[in-house]
Chains A and B, each alone.
Chain A
Amino acid sequence: MKLVIAAIKPFKLDEVREALTEIGVRGMMVTEIKGFGAQSGHTEIYRGAEYTVNFVPKVKIEIGVAADMVDQVVETIEKSARTGKIGDGKIFVLDIEKAVRVRTGETDEDAL
Protein backbone atom coordinates (compact mmCIF):
# COMPACT_ATOMS: atom_id res chain seq x y z
CA MET A 1 0.00 0.00 0.00
CA LYS A 2 1.19 3.43 -0.84
CA LEU A 3 0.19 6.95 0.23
CA VAL A 4 0.27 9.45 -2.62
CA ILE A 5 0.58 13.08 -1.48
CA ALA A 6 0.23 15.79 -4.10
CA ALA A 7 0.28 19.59 -3.79
CA ILE A 8 -1.51 21.09 -6.78
CA LYS A 9 -2.97 24.35 -8.01
CA PRO A 10 -6.36 24.91 -6.33
CA PHE A 11 -8.30 25.37 -9.57
CA LYS A 12 -7.02 21.99 -10.82
CA LEU A 13 -8.66 20.06 -7.99
CA ASP A 14 -11.87 19.12 -9.79
CA GLU A 15 -10.02 18.01 -12.90
CA VAL A 16 -7.71 15.82 -10.84
CA ARG A 17 -10.60 14.32 -8.88
CA GLU A 18 -12.48 13.45 -12.06
CA ALA A 19 -9.45 11.87 -13.69
CA LEU A 20 -8.74 9.80 -10.58
CA THR A 21 -12.35 8.66 -10.28
CA GLU A 22 -12.17 7.41 -13.87
CA ILE A 23 -9.25 5.11 -13.11
CA GLY A 24 -11.04 3.71 -10.05
CA VAL A 25 -9.82 5.77 -7.09
CA ARG A 26 -12.66 5.79 -4.56
CA GLY A 27 -11.58 8.38 -2.03
CA MET A 28 -9.12 11.09 -1.15
CA MET A 29 -8.37 13.63 1.53
CA VAL A 30 -8.15 17.30 0.56
CA THR A 31 -6.59 20.17 2.53
CA GLU A 32 -6.13 23.84 1.64
CA ILE A 33 -2.50 24.68 2.27
CA LYS A 34 0.07 27.40 1.65
CA GLY A 35 3.64 26.85 0.62
CA PHE A 36 6.42 27.81 -1.70
CA GLY A 37 8.57 26.09 -4.25
CA ALA A 38 9.99 27.41 -7.47
CA GLN A 39 7.02 29.82 -7.73
CA SER A 40 8.00 31.59 -4.46
CA GLY A 41 5.18 34.10 -4.02
CA HIS A 42 4.14 37.43 -5.49
CA THR A 43 4.00 41.13 -4.57
CA GLU A 44 0.92 43.07 -3.46
CA ILE A 45 0.83 46.88 -3.31
CA TYR A 46 -1.57 48.90 -1.12
CA ARG A 47 -1.26 52.67 -1.51
CA GLY A 48 2.42 52.36 -2.21
CA ALA A 49 3.17 49.88 0.60
CA GLU A 50 4.61 46.74 -0.97
CA TYR A 51 4.15 43.33 0.60
CA THR A 52 5.74 40.14 -0.62
CA VAL A 53 3.42 37.20 -0.22
CA ASN A 54 5.90 34.34 0.18
CA PHE A 55 3.44 31.50 0.58
CA VAL A 56 1.15 30.64 -2.28
CA PRO A 57 -2.21 28.91 -1.74
CA LYS A 58 -2.25 25.27 -2.91
CA VAL A 59 -4.43 22.23 -2.40
CA LYS A 60 -2.97 19.10 -0.90
CA ILE A 61 -4.56 15.74 -1.77
CA GLU A 62 -3.73 12.48 -0.03
CA ILE A 63 -4.74 9.12 -1.47
CA GLY A 64 -4.15 5.64 -0.08
CA VAL A 65 -3.78 3.11 -2.96
CA ALA A 66 -2.77 -0.50 -3.56
CA ALA A 67 0.86 -0.84 -4.57
CA ASP A 68 0.02 -2.06 -8.07
CA MET A 69 -2.05 1.05 -8.77
CA VAL A 70 0.39 3.66 -7.58
CA ASP A 71 2.13 4.35 -10.89
CA GLN A 72 -1.16 4.84 -12.67
CA VAL A 73 -2.41 7.23 -9.93
CA VAL A 74 0.78 9.29 -9.98
CA GLU A 75 0.67 9.48 -13.76
CA THR A 76 -3.01 10.55 -13.73
CA ILE A 77 -2.38 13.35 -11.19
CA GLU A 78 0.65 14.46 -13.14
CA LYS A 79 -1.31 14.70 -16.38
CA SER A 80 -4.48 16.27 -15.01
CA ALA A 81 -2.77 18.82 -12.74
CA ARG A 82 -0.27 20.03 -15.29
CA THR A 83 -0.53 23.51 -16.83
CA GLY A 84 3.11 23.61 -17.90
CA LYS A 85 3.68 26.81 -15.94
CA ILE A 86 5.72 27.32 -12.82
CA GLY A 87 3.84 26.36 -9.62
CA ASP A 88 2.09 23.21 -10.85
CA GLY A 89 3.05 21.38 -7.65
CA LYS A 90 4.71 18.17 -6.39
CA ILE A 91 3.81 14.51 -5.91
CA PHE A 92 5.28 12.32 -3.18
CA VAL A 93 4.80 8.58 -2.62
CA LEU A 94 5.19 6.98 0.84
CA ASP A 95 4.68 3.49 2.23
CA ILE A 96 1.59 2.78 4.34
CA GLU A 97 2.09 0.40 7.27
CA LYS A 98 -1.53 -0.31 7.98
CA ALA A 99 -5.05 0.78 6.96
CA VAL A 100 -8.37 0.24 8.76
CA ARG A 101 -11.93 0.95 7.62
CA VAL A 102 -13.64 2.38 10.70
CA ARG A 103 -17.19 1.19 9.92
CA THR A 104 -16.36 -2.51 9.32
CA GLY A 105 -12.98 -3.02 10.87
CA GLU A 106 -11.59 -4.32 7.56
CA THR A 107 -7.84 -3.89 7.29
CA ASP A 108 -5.17 -3.07 4.73
CA GLU A 109 -6.10 -3.39 1.05
CA ASP A 110 -9.71 -4.27 1.88
CA ALA A 111 -9.93 -0.97 3.73
CA LEU A 112 -8.71 1.24 0.88
Chain B
Amino acid sequence: MNIRKLLTASAALSIAALPALAQEAPVPDKGDTSFMMIATVLVLFMILPGVALFYGGLVRSKNMLSILMQSTVITALVMVIWVVYGYSFAFGGGTSPYWGGFGKLFLSGVTMDSTAATFTDGVVIPEYVFIAFQMTFAAITAVLIIGGFAERVKFGAIVLFMALWVTFVYFPIAHMVWDGSGLIFNMGALDFAGGTVVHINAGIAALVGALIIGPRIGLGKDMMAPHSMTLTFVGASILWVGWFGFNAGSNLEATGGAALAMINTFTATAGAILAWALIEAMARGKASMLGGASGMIAGLVAVTPAAGSVGPIGAIVLGAIASAVCYYFVDVVKNKLGYDDSLDVFGIHGIGGIIGAIGTGIFTAPSLGGTGGEDYSMMGQTMIQIEAVAITIVWCGVISFILYKIVDMVIGLRVSEDVEREGLDLTTHGESAYHY
Protein backbone atom coordinates (compact mmCIF):
# COMPACT_ATOMS: atom_id res chain seq x y z
CA MET B 1 0.00 0.00 0.00
CA ASN B 2 2.78 2.40 1.01
CA ILE B 3 4.96 1.31 -1.86
CA ARG B 4 2.08 1.85 -4.27
CA LYS B 5 1.48 5.36 -3.02
CA LEU B 6 5.15 6.05 -3.40
CA LEU B 7 5.14 4.80 -6.96
CA THR B 8 2.14 6.90 -7.86
CA ALA B 9 3.77 9.97 -6.39
CA SER B 10 7.00 9.47 -8.26
CA ALA B 11 5.12 8.83 -11.50
CA ALA B 12 3.30 12.10 -11.13
CA LEU B 13 6.54 13.92 -10.53
CA SER B 14 8.42 12.87 -13.58
CA ILE B 15 7.75 11.56 -17.09
CA ALA B 16 10.98 9.63 -16.80
CA ALA B 17 9.26 7.53 -14.19
CA LEU B 18 6.85 6.03 -16.78
CA PRO B 19 8.51 2.58 -16.70
CA ALA B 20 7.78 2.56 -12.97
CA LEU B 21 4.11 3.21 -13.78
CA ALA B 22 4.02 0.03 -15.84
CA GLN B 23 5.20 -1.88 -12.77
CA GLU B 24 2.49 -0.43 -10.59
CA ALA B 25 -0.17 -2.75 -9.20
CA PRO B 26 -3.27 -2.68 -11.44
CA VAL B 27 -6.38 -0.86 -10.26
CA PRO B 28 -9.84 -2.49 -10.50
CA ASP B 29 -12.09 -1.34 -13.31
CA LYS B 30 -15.39 0.15 -12.10
CA GLY B 31 -17.35 -1.81 -14.71
CA ASP B 32 -15.85 -5.14 -13.65
CA THR B 33 -16.36 -4.31 -10.00
CA SER B 34 -20.03 -3.35 -10.46
CA PHE B 35 -20.65 -6.45 -12.54
CA MET B 36 -19.17 -8.72 -9.88
CA MET B 37 -21.14 -7.06 -7.08
CA ILE B 38 -24.37 -7.72 -8.97
CA ALA B 39 -23.30 -11.29 -9.78
CA THR B 40 -22.60 -11.89 -6.08
CA VAL B 41 -26.05 -10.86 -4.88
CA LEU B 42 -27.62 -12.85 -7.72
CA VAL B 43 -25.99 -15.97 -6.27
CA LEU B 44 -27.37 -15.07 -2.84
CA PHE B 45 -30.80 -14.75 -4.51
CA MET B 46 -30.34 -18.31 -5.81
CA ILE B 47 -30.12 -19.60 -2.24
CA LEU B 48 -32.64 -17.35 -0.52
CA PRO B 49 -35.29 -17.68 -1.72
CA GLY B 50 -34.36 -19.75 -4.82
CA VAL B 51 -33.23 -23.13 -3.53
CA ALA B 52 -35.29 -22.70 -0.35
CA LEU B 53 -38.56 -22.36 -2.30
CA PHE B 54 -37.61 -24.93 -4.95
CA TYR B 55 -36.95 -27.49 -2.22
CA GLY B 56 -39.72 -26.25 0.08
CA GLY B 57 -42.41 -26.78 -2.52
CA LEU B 58 -41.26 -30.37 -3.01
CA VAL B 59 -41.72 -31.50 0.61
CA ARG B 60 -44.97 -32.13 2.47
CA SER B 61 -46.54 -29.04 4.01
CA LYS B 62 -45.66 -30.23 7.54
CA ASN B 63 -41.95 -29.85 6.70
CA MET B 64 -42.01 -26.64 4.65
CA LEU B 65 -40.53 -24.40 7.35
CA SER B 66 -37.79 -26.89 8.20
CA ILE B 67 -36.47 -26.50 4.65
CA LEU B 68 -36.71 -22.70 4.69
CA MET B 69 -35.06 -22.48 8.11
CA GLN B 70 -32.28 -24.96 7.29
CA SER B 71 -31.51 -22.99 4.12
CA THR B 72 -31.43 -19.71 6.03
CA VAL B 73 -29.29 -20.86 8.95
CA ILE B 74 -26.82 -22.84 6.83
CA THR B 75 -26.34 -19.81 4.58
CA ALA B 76 -25.59 -17.62 7.60
CA LEU B 77 -23.34 -20.24 9.18
CA VAL B 78 -21.23 -20.74 6.07
CA MET B 79 -20.86 -16.97 5.64
CA VAL B 80 -19.43 -16.60 9.15
CA ILE B 81 -17.14 -19.62 8.75
CA TRP B 82 -16.02 -18.29 5.34
CA VAL B 83 -14.65 -15.03 6.67
CA VAL B 84 -13.21 -16.61 9.81
CA TYR B 85 -11.21 -19.38 8.11
CA GLY B 86 -12.96 -20.68 4.98
CA TYR B 87 -11.55 -18.10 2.59
CA SER B 88 -8.08 -18.73 3.96
CA PHE B 89 -8.44 -22.52 3.63
CA ALA B 90 -9.57 -22.14 0.01
CA PHE B 91 -7.70 -19.08 -1.25
CA GLY B 92 -5.30 -18.19 1.55
CA GLY B 93 -2.27 -18.03 -0.71
CA GLY B 94 -0.68 -21.26 0.49
CA THR B 95 1.06 -23.34 -2.16
CA SER B 96 -0.20 -26.77 -1.08
CA PRO B 97 -2.27 -28.46 -3.80
CA TYR B 98 -4.93 -29.36 -1.19
CA TRP B 99 -5.62 -26.24 0.84
CA GLY B 100 -4.85 -22.55 1.06
CA GLY B 101 -3.31 -22.43 4.53
CA PHE B 102 -3.79 -20.07 7.48
CA GLY B 103 -2.52 -16.93 5.74
CA LYS B 104 -5.85 -15.11 5.61
CA LEU B 105 -7.60 -16.21 8.79
CA PHE B 106 -10.19 -13.56 9.78
CA LEU B 107 -9.42 -12.02 6.36
CA SER B 108 -6.18 -10.73 7.80
CA GLY B 109 -4.30 -8.44 5.48
CA VAL B 110 -7.31 -7.75 3.26
CA THR B 111 -8.13 -4.06 2.85
CA MET B 112 -10.23 -1.91 0.55
CA ASP B 113 -7.20 -1.69 -1.72
CA SER B 114 -6.50 -5.43 -1.88
CA THR B 115 -7.18 -6.97 -5.26
CA ALA B 116 -7.81 -10.41 -6.66
CA ALA B 117 -6.57 -11.53 -10.07
CA THR B 118 -8.94 -12.39 -12.91
CA PHE B 119 -8.30 -14.47 -16.03
CA THR B 120 -6.72 -11.52 -17.83
CA ASP B 121 -3.21 -10.38 -16.91
CA GLY B 122 -3.28 -6.96 -15.34
CA VAL B 123 -7.05 -6.98 -14.72
CA VAL B 124 -8.09 -7.20 -11.10
CA ILE B 125 -11.19 -6.82 -8.94
CA PRO B 126 -11.36 -5.73 -5.30
CA GLU B 127 -10.55 -8.70 -3.09
CA TYR B 128 -13.63 -8.04 -0.93
CA VAL B 129 -15.83 -8.63 -3.98
CA PHE B 130 -14.00 -11.85 -4.78
CA ILE B 131 -14.34 -12.99 -1.16
CA ALA B 132 -18.08 -12.23 -1.14
CA PHE B 133 -18.65 -13.89 -4.53
CA GLN B 134 -16.88 -17.07 -3.46
CA MET B 135 -18.68 -16.97 -0.10
CA THR B 136 -22.06 -17.33 -1.82
CA PHE B 137 -20.76 -20.39 -3.68
CA ALA B 138 -19.75 -22.09 -0.46
CA ALA B 139 -23.16 -21.29 1.05
CA ILE B 140 -25.25 -22.57 -1.85
CA THR B 141 -23.30 -25.83 -2.05
CA ALA B 142 -24.02 -26.61 1.58
CA VAL B 143 -27.70 -25.67 1.22
CA LEU B 144 -28.12 -27.91 -1.85
CA ILE B 145 -27.17 -30.97 0.24
CA ILE B 146 -30.21 -30.75 2.55
CA GLY B 147 -32.47 -32.05 -0.21
CA GLY B 148 -30.90 -35.49 0.08
CA PHE B 149 -32.23 -36.13 3.58
CA ALA B 150 -35.11 -33.67 3.78
CA GLU B 151 -38.04 -34.34 6.14
CA ARG B 152 -36.23 -36.59 8.65
CA VAL B 153 -33.04 -35.05 10.08
CA LYS B 154 -32.35 -33.17 13.32
CA PHE B 155 -31.80 -29.46 12.88
CA GLY B 156 -28.76 -29.35 15.17
CA ALA B 157 -27.22 -32.34 13.42
CA ILE B 158 -27.52 -30.61 10.05
CA VAL B 159 -25.91 -27.42 11.36
CA LEU B 160 -22.97 -29.34 12.88
CA PHE B 161 -22.58 -31.49 9.77
CA MET B 162 -22.47 -28.47 7.46
CA ALA B 163 -19.83 -26.73 9.58
CA LEU B 164 -17.64 -29.83 9.33
CA TRP B 165 -18.49 -30.49 5.68
CA VAL B 166 -17.49 -27.10 4.34
CA THR B 167 -14.28 -27.31 6.38
CA PHE B 168 -13.11 -30.74 5.23
CA VAL B 169 -14.79 -31.12 1.84
CA TYR B 170 -15.80 -27.80 0.27
CA PHE B 171 -12.79 -25.58 1.08
CA PRO B 172 -10.18 -28.17 0.02
CA ILE B 173 -12.01 -28.97 -3.23
CA ALA B 174 -12.56 -25.28 -4.04
CA HIS B 175 -8.80 -24.82 -3.54
CA MET B 176 -7.94 -27.86 -5.65
CA VAL B 177 -10.14 -26.74 -8.54
CA TRP B 178 -9.89 -22.96 -8.57
CA ASP B 179 -6.68 -21.90 -6.84
CA GLY B 180 -3.54 -21.45 -8.94
CA SER B 181 -1.69 -24.00 -6.80
CA GLY B 182 -4.60 -26.47 -6.65
CA LEU B 183 -4.23 -30.11 -7.62
CA ILE B 184 -7.10 -30.29 -10.11
CA PHE B 185 -6.42 -26.80 -11.48
CA ASN B 186 -2.90 -27.83 -12.38
CA MET B 187 -4.09 -31.00 -14.07
CA GLY B 188 -5.68 -28.60 -16.55
CA ALA B 189 -9.28 -29.49 -15.73
CA LEU B 190 -11.95 -27.06 -16.96
CA ASP B 191 -14.52 -26.15 -14.34
CA PHE B 192 -15.80 -22.72 -15.18
CA ALA B 193 -18.39 -22.09 -12.48
CA GLY B 194 -18.27 -25.12 -10.22
CA GLY B 195 -19.59 -28.32 -11.79
CA THR B 196 -17.27 -30.35 -9.58
CA VAL B 197 -16.92 -27.98 -6.62
CA VAL B 198 -20.62 -27.19 -6.26
CA HIS B 199 -22.82 -29.73 -8.00
CA ILE B 200 -20.95 -33.04 -7.96
CA ASN B 201 -19.80 -32.20 -4.44
CA ALA B 202 -23.34 -31.48 -3.19
CA GLY B 203 -24.79 -34.43 -5.10
CA ILE B 204 -22.36 -36.96 -3.64
CA ALA B 205 -22.69 -35.60 -0.10
CA ALA B 206 -26.49 -35.81 -0.43
CA LEU B 207 -26.36 -39.38 -1.74
CA VAL B 208 -24.08 -40.53 1.08
CA GLY B 209 -26.41 -38.82 3.57
CA ALA B 210 -29.53 -40.40 2.08
CA LEU B 211 -27.90 -43.85 2.24
CA ILE B 212 -26.67 -43.48 5.84
CA ILE B 213 -29.86 -41.91 7.19
CA GLY B 214 -32.24 -44.24 5.37
CA PRO B 215 -35.58 -43.64 3.69
CA ARG B 216 -38.44 -41.62 5.13
CA ILE B 217 -41.06 -43.57 7.07
CA GLY B 218 -43.79 -44.66 4.66
CA LEU B 219 -41.74 -44.22 1.50
CA GLY B 220 -43.58 -45.88 -1.35
CA LYS B 221 -46.78 -46.24 0.71
CA ASP B 222 -47.69 -42.81 2.04
CA MET B 223 -48.57 -39.82 -0.09
CA MET B 224 -45.35 -37.79 -0.35
CA ALA B 225 -46.24 -35.64 -3.33
CA PRO B 226 -44.85 -32.07 -3.43
CA HIS B 227 -47.07 -29.83 -1.32
CA SER B 228 -46.75 -26.86 -3.67
CA MET B 229 -45.67 -27.24 -7.25
CA THR B 230 -46.32 -23.51 -7.57
CA LEU B 231 -43.57 -22.61 -5.09
CA THR B 232 -41.26 -25.19 -6.66
CA PHE B 233 -41.77 -23.45 -9.99
CA VAL B 234 -41.12 -20.03 -8.43
CA GLY B 235 -37.93 -21.31 -6.78
CA ALA B 236 -36.65 -22.99 -9.95
CA SER B 237 -37.26 -19.84 -11.99
CA ILE B 238 -35.44 -17.70 -9.41
CA LEU B 239 -32.57 -20.17 -9.65
CA TRP B 240 -32.42 -19.67 -13.41
CA VAL B 241 -32.25 -15.88 -13.04
CA GLY B 242 -29.68 -16.09 -10.24
CA TRP B 243 -27.61 -18.56 -12.23
CA PHE B 244 -26.52 -15.72 -14.52
CA GLY B 245 -24.62 -14.33 -11.54
CA PHE B 246 -23.20 -17.77 -10.90
CA ASN B 247 -22.04 -18.49 -14.47
CA ALA B 248 -21.39 -15.08 -16.04
CA GLY B 249 -19.93 -13.89 -12.72
CA SER B 250 -17.43 -16.75 -12.75
CA ASN B 251 -15.74 -14.92 -15.61
CA LEU B 252 -14.75 -12.32 -12.97
CA GLU B 253 -14.76 -9.54 -15.60
CA ALA B 254 -17.52 -8.00 -17.72
CA THR B 255 -16.14 -9.17 -21.06
CA GLY B 256 -17.08 -11.33 -24.00
CA GLY B 257 -16.27 -14.35 -21.86
CA ALA B 258 -19.06 -13.35 -19.47
CA ALA B 259 -21.36 -12.83 -22.45
CA LEU B 260 -20.59 -16.35 -23.69
CA ALA B 261 -21.40 -17.75 -20.25
CA MET B 262 -24.63 -15.77 -20.28
CA ILE B 263 -25.90 -17.01 -23.64
CA ASN B 264 -24.93 -20.58 -22.72
CA THR B 265 -26.91 -20.27 -19.49
CA PHE B 266 -29.92 -19.49 -21.66
CA THR B 267 -29.47 -22.06 -24.40
CA ALA B 268 -28.38 -25.07 -22.35
CA THR B 269 -31.33 -24.58 -20.01
CA ALA B 270 -33.77 -24.19 -22.88
CA GLY B 271 -32.46 -27.35 -24.52
CA ALA B 272 -32.76 -29.25 -21.25
CA ILE B 273 -36.35 -28.11 -20.57
CA LEU B 274 -37.47 -29.13 -24.06
CA ALA B 275 -35.70 -32.48 -23.77
CA TRP B 276 -37.24 -33.36 -20.40
CA ALA B 277 -40.73 -32.39 -21.53
CA LEU B 278 -40.36 -34.34 -24.76
CA ILE B 279 -39.07 -37.45 -22.99
CA GLU B 280 -41.95 -37.36 -20.51
CA ALA B 281 -44.50 -36.80 -23.23
CA MET B 282 -43.18 -39.78 -25.14
CA ALA B 283 -42.58 -42.05 -22.14
CA ARG B 284 -45.91 -41.55 -20.38
CA GLY B 285 -48.02 -39.32 -22.55
CA LYS B 286 -47.92 -36.29 -20.23
CA ALA B 287 -45.33 -33.55 -19.84
CA SER B 288 -45.38 -32.52 -16.15
CA MET B 289 -44.56 -29.15 -14.57
CA LEU B 290 -42.16 -30.88 -12.17
CA GLY B 291 -40.48 -32.32 -15.25
CA GLY B 292 -40.18 -28.83 -16.71
CA ALA B 293 -38.62 -27.51 -13.51
CA SER B 294 -36.33 -30.55 -13.21
CA GLY B 295 -35.14 -30.10 -16.79
CA MET B 296 -34.47 -26.44 -16.05
CA ILE B 297 -32.21 -27.30 -13.11
CA ALA B 298 -30.52 -30.21 -14.92
CA GLY B 299 -29.61 -27.91 -17.81
CA LEU B 300 -28.31 -25.20 -15.48
CA VAL B 301 -26.21 -27.71 -13.57
CA ALA B 302 -24.77 -29.24 -16.72
CA VAL B 303 -23.76 -25.92 -18.25
CA THR B 304 -22.11 -24.69 -15.04
CA PRO B 305 -18.62 -26.13 -15.73
CA ALA B 306 -19.05 -25.59 -19.48
CA ALA B 307 -20.44 -22.05 -19.63
CA GLY B 308 -17.15 -20.32 -20.37
CA SER B 309 -15.77 -22.67 -23.00
CA VAL B 310 -18.52 -24.33 -25.04
CA GLY B 311 -20.50 -22.68 -27.83
CA PRO B 312 -24.20 -21.75 -27.55
CA ILE B 313 -25.32 -24.55 -29.89
CA GLY B 314 -23.15 -27.16 -28.19
CA ALA B 315 -24.72 -25.98 -24.92
CA ILE B 316 -28.21 -26.87 -26.20
CA VAL B 317 -27.05 -30.43 -26.90
CA LEU B 318 -25.23 -30.64 -23.56
CA GLY B 319 -28.38 -29.51 -21.72
CA ALA B 320 -30.54 -32.01 -23.60
CA ILE B 321 -28.18 -34.90 -22.85
CA ALA B 322 -28.09 -33.94 -19.16
CA SER B 323 -31.91 -33.91 -19.07
CA ALA B 324 -32.13 -37.35 -20.63
CA VAL B 325 -29.66 -38.93 -18.21
CA CYS B 326 -31.08 -37.16 -15.14
CA TYR B 327 -34.60 -38.17 -16.16
CA TYR B 328 -33.51 -41.78 -16.36
CA PHE B 329 -31.89 -41.48 -12.94
CA VAL B 330 -34.70 -39.89 -10.96
CA ASP B 331 -37.49 -41.70 -12.77
CA VAL B 332 -36.10 -45.20 -13.14
CA VAL B 333 -32.80 -45.88 -11.36
CA LYS B 334 -33.67 -44.26 -8.03
CA ASN B 335 -36.99 -46.04 -7.72
CA LYS B 336 -35.39 -49.36 -8.60
CA LEU B 337 -32.55 -49.01 -6.11
CA GLY B 338 -34.93 -47.79 -3.40
CA TYR B 339 -32.67 -45.19 -1.73
CA ASP B 340 -34.44 -42.03 -0.62
CA ASP B 341 -32.61 -38.98 -1.97
CA SER B 342 -35.78 -37.04 -1.12
CA LEU B 343 -35.41 -34.13 -3.52
CA ASP B 344 -33.05 -35.75 -6.06
CA VAL B 345 -29.91 -33.80 -5.21
CA PHE B 346 -27.79 -36.68 -6.50
CA GLY B 347 -30.09 -37.47 -9.41
CA ILE B 348 -30.01 -33.91 -10.73
CA HIS B 349 -27.00 -32.05 -9.26
CA GLY B 350 -24.70 -35.06 -8.96
CA ILE B 351 -25.55 -36.72 -12.26
CA GLY B 352 -26.11 -33.44 -14.12
CA GLY B 353 -22.79 -32.18 -12.73
CA ILE B 354 -20.95 -35.29 -13.92
CA ILE B 355 -22.51 -35.06 -17.40
CA GLY B 356 -21.62 -31.36 -17.49
CA ALA B 357 -18.02 -31.84 -16.33
CA ILE B 358 -17.33 -34.61 -18.83
CA GLY B 359 -19.38 -32.88 -21.56
CA THR B 360 -17.23 -29.78 -21.08
CA GLY B 361 -14.28 -31.81 -22.37
CA ILE B 362 -16.27 -32.79 -25.44
CA PHE B 363 -18.11 -29.59 -26.34
CA THR B 364 -15.13 -27.28 -25.80
CA ALA B 365 -13.71 -28.80 -28.99
CA PRO B 366 -13.65 -26.22 -31.79
CA SER B 367 -15.18 -28.77 -34.17
CA LEU B 368 -18.29 -28.71 -31.95
CA GLY B 369 -18.46 -24.93 -31.69
CA GLY B 370 -16.36 -24.66 -28.53
CA THR B 371 -13.60 -22.18 -27.78
CA GLY B 372 -10.74 -24.71 -27.60
CA GLY B 373 -7.67 -23.76 -29.65
CA GLU B 374 -6.43 -25.55 -32.75
CA ASP B 375 -4.30 -27.88 -30.66
CA TYR B 376 -7.31 -28.80 -28.48
CA SER B 377 -7.45 -32.52 -27.77
CA MET B 378 -11.02 -33.61 -27.12
CA MET B 379 -9.95 -37.03 -25.91
CA GLY B 380 -7.13 -35.68 -23.74
CA GLN B 381 -9.27 -32.96 -22.13
CA THR B 382 -12.16 -35.36 -21.55
CA MET B 383 -9.82 -37.77 -19.73
CA ILE B 384 -8.63 -34.91 -17.51
CA GLN B 385 -12.28 -34.00 -16.83
CA ILE B 386 -13.08 -37.59 -15.85
CA GLU B 387 -10.08 -37.63 -13.53
CA ALA B 388 -11.21 -34.39 -11.89
CA VAL B 389 -14.71 -35.84 -11.42
CA ALA B 390 -13.26 -39.03 -9.91
CA ILE B 391 -11.09 -37.12 -7.42
CA THR B 392 -14.09 -35.04 -6.34
CA ILE B 393 -16.33 -38.08 -5.93
CA VAL B 394 -13.79 -40.02 -3.86
CA TRP B 395 -12.74 -37.07 -1.67
CA CYS B 396 -16.31 -35.95 -1.05
CA GLY B 397 -17.73 -39.47 -0.69
CA VAL B 398 -15.18 -40.75 1.83
CA ILE B 399 -14.95 -37.63 3.99
CA SER B 400 -18.71 -37.00 3.95
CA PHE B 401 -19.24 -40.58 5.12
CA ILE B 402 -16.88 -40.07 8.05
CA LEU B 403 -18.47 -36.73 8.96
CA TYR B 404 -22.02 -38.17 8.93
CA LYS B 405 -20.85 -40.95 11.25
CA ILE B 406 -19.23 -38.48 13.63
CA VAL B 407 -22.37 -36.31 13.78
CA ASP B 408 -24.50 -39.43 14.24
CA MET B 409 -22.39 -40.38 17.28
CA VAL B 410 -22.33 -36.90 18.79
CA ILE B 411 -25.91 -35.70 18.22
CA GLY B 412 -27.72 -38.39 16.23
CA LEU B 413 -28.74 -37.65 12.67
CA ARG B 414 -32.32 -38.75 12.57
CA VAL B 415 -35.37 -37.48 14.44
CA SER B 416 -37.60 -39.92 16.34
CA GLU B 417 -40.43 -41.68 14.56
CA ASP B 418 -43.08 -39.56 16.30
CA VAL B 419 -41.35 -36.35 15.31
CA GLU B 420 -41.02 -37.48 11.72
CA ARG B 421 -44.72 -38.33 11.55
CA GLU B 422 -45.84 -35.08 13.11
CA GLY B 423 -43.54 -33.05 10.87
CA LEU B 424 -40.41 -31.02 11.59
CA ASP B 425 -42.11 -27.61 11.47
CA LEU B 426 -44.08 -28.01 14.69
CA THR B 427 -41.68 -30.30 16.53
CA THR B 428 -38.41 -28.55 15.69
CA HIS B 429 -39.34 -24.96 14.97
CA GLY B 430 -42.64 -24.56 16.85
CA GLU B 431 -44.52 -23.08 13.92
CA SER B 432 -46.67 -24.08 10.96
CA ALA B 433 -46.19 -22.88 7.42
CA TYR B 434 -49.89 -22.57 6.69
CA HIS B 435 -53.02 -21.80 8.70
CA TYR B 436 -56.00 -22.81 6.61
Chain A: residues with CB nearer than 8 A to chain B?
A: 44-49, 51, 53
Q: 5 closest pairs, A vs B, by CB? A: A48-B331, A47-B330, A48-B335, A51-B223, A51-B225
| Contact (Cβ within 8 A) A47 B223 | no
| Contact (Cβ within 8 A) A47 B344 | yes
Give A97 to B325 CA distance when docked, in angstroms.
Answer: 66
What are 12 A-B interface contacts by the 8 Å CB criterion? A45-B284, A46-B288, A46-B290, A47-B290, A47-B294, A48-B330, A48-B335, A49-B220, A49-B224, A49-B335, A51-B223, A51-B225
B97 within 8 Å of A by Cβ?
no
CB distance from B308 to the nearest CB of A (A): 30
Give A47 to B295 CA distance when docked, in angstroms.
Answer: 11
| Contact (Cβ within 8 A) B331 A47 | yes
Give A53 to B222 CA distance when docked, in angstroms.
Answer: 10
> What is the interface of chain B mostly: helix, strand, loop, or mixed?
helix
**B: contact size bracket:** 10 to 19
B16 within 8 Å of A by Cβ?
no
| Contact (Cβ within 8 A) B224 A51 | yes
Give A46 to B331 CA distance when docked, in angstroms.
Answer: 9
| Contact (Cβ within 8 A) B225 A44 | yes
B421 within 8 Å of A by Cβ?
no
Chain A residue numbers with a CB within 8 Å of B223 are: 51, 53
B335-376 CB mask vs A (1 if < 8 Å, else 0) is 100000000100100000000000000000000000000000
Chain A residue numbers with a CB within 8 Å of B331 are: 47-48
| Contact (Cβ within 8 A) B288 A45 | yes
B226 within 8 Å of A by Cβ?
yes
Chain A residue numbers with a CB within 8 Å of B405 are: none
Most B CB contacts (10 A, CB to CB) among A44, A46, A47, A53 go to A47
CB distance from B231 to the nearest CB of A (A): 14
Give A9 to B284 CA distance when docked, in angstroms.
Answer: 27
Chain B residue numbers with a CB within 8 Å of A47 are: 290-291, 294, 330-331, 344, 347
CB distance from B110 to the nearest CB of A (A): 44
Chain A residue numbers with a CB within 8 Å of B334 are: 48
Give A80 to B431 CA distance when docked, in angstroms.
Answer: 44
Give A47 to B326 CA distance when docked, in angstroms.
Answer: 10
B279-292 CB mask vs A (1 if < 8 Å, else 0) is 00000100010110
B332 within 8 Å of A by Cβ?
yes
Give A46 to B288 CA distance when docked, in angstroms.
Answer: 8
Chain A residue numbers with a CB within 8 Å of B226 are: 46
B306-336 CB mask vs A (1 if < 8 Å, else 0) is 0000000000000000000000001110110
Chain B residue numbers with a CB within 8 Å of A53 are: 223
Give A51 to B284 CA distance when docked, in angstroms.
Answer: 15
Give A44 to B223 CA distance when docked, in angstroms.
Answer: 10
Chain A, residue nearest B326 (CB): A47
Chain B, residue nearest A44 (CB): B225
Give A47 to B291 CA distance when docked, in angstroms.
Answer: 7
B226-257 CB mask vs A (1 if < 8 Å, else 0) is 10000000000000000000000000000000
Chain A residue numbers with a CB within 8 Å of B294 are: 47
Chain B residue numbers with a CB within 8 Å of A44 are: 225
